[in-house]
Amino acid sequence: MEHVRAIVVRAAGVNCDVETQHALRLAGADAQRVHVNRLIEAPDQLNQHQILVFPGGFSYGDDVAAGKILANQIVHHLAEPIRRFLDEGKLILGICNGFQALVKAGILPGFADTPFSFDTQPVTITDNDSGKFEDRWVHLEVVGDRCVFLEPGRRIYLPVAHGEGKVVTRDAATLDRLRSEGHIALRYVDAEGRPGDFPINPNGSVDAIAGLTDATGRVLGLMPHPERYIHPTQHPHWTRLGAPRPDGTMFFTRAVEYVREHL
């Protein structure tokens, strides 16, 4: 498929939709921003698109819990359209607040035997251990080779900006499944790839989890913001490093390449 089309879902409080649209367009996709209410009214829009993105921000002010109201809209109004979207081999990306919504809607972690856990939630994302909003740059390690958005073995550098980014599991058995079945897509590490406490792990996520993928590898949710590092000059040390490769572009270019090759 040469012509790749993406939908970036916006709602009240979402504030990274324009940047995400820009990142997709730089990667070669025809990306449009669509309000979640318009998508609920006309879910058949998904039929003409191959990439669905839930961007960062504070949807509905993060009332109740971060991403929870948007997650409820997904569960009650978009569950079947999204299920069909994934069954057709298409891609979903959730960034920060979008990641929170995907987890709280039960789309992630997306175990093979329960790809949509709308009635149960084995994983959630909650308040940072620091008790405050964390706005900093972090090193990340790509885990495994399943997720189509990620280049295996790569170590990357991206910004985070969240108050509720701590990934926790319902129990130890769930964490074991995340590890053994390849659902951990990204971990927080230091510049040499070693795990560590705060600030290396900025929120206290269990097992330093920064991102999760589903059983197919076609759904990815992550707390860091790749759309905020798609130009070299966005790196905090770009004047000393010259023109570093912007790590955030990987997510969007690999998604577009996947669609072109497989759909």
Catalytic positions are 96, 225, 227
What span, in angstroms and rounded, lies between the C-alpha atoms of 42 and 46?
A: 9
3-state secondary structure of 4: coil
Residue 248: CB atoms within 10 Å: 25
Token readout for 41 is 């009214």
* CA 101 – CA 257 distance, rounded (Å): 26
172 close to 178: Cβ distance less than 8 angstroms: no
Token reading at 231: 């130009």
| Residue 210: C-alpha distances to residues 70, 187, 222 (Å) | 21, 5, 6
- Across 47-78, b (16+ Cβ under 10 Å) vs e yields eebbbbbbbbbbbbebeeebbbbbbebbbebb
Distances (CA, A) of 196 to 191, 200, 201: 11, 6, 6
CB 168 within 8 A of CB 126: yes
Describe the crossing of helices 249-262 and 17-26 by its angle, rounded to 10 degrees.
60
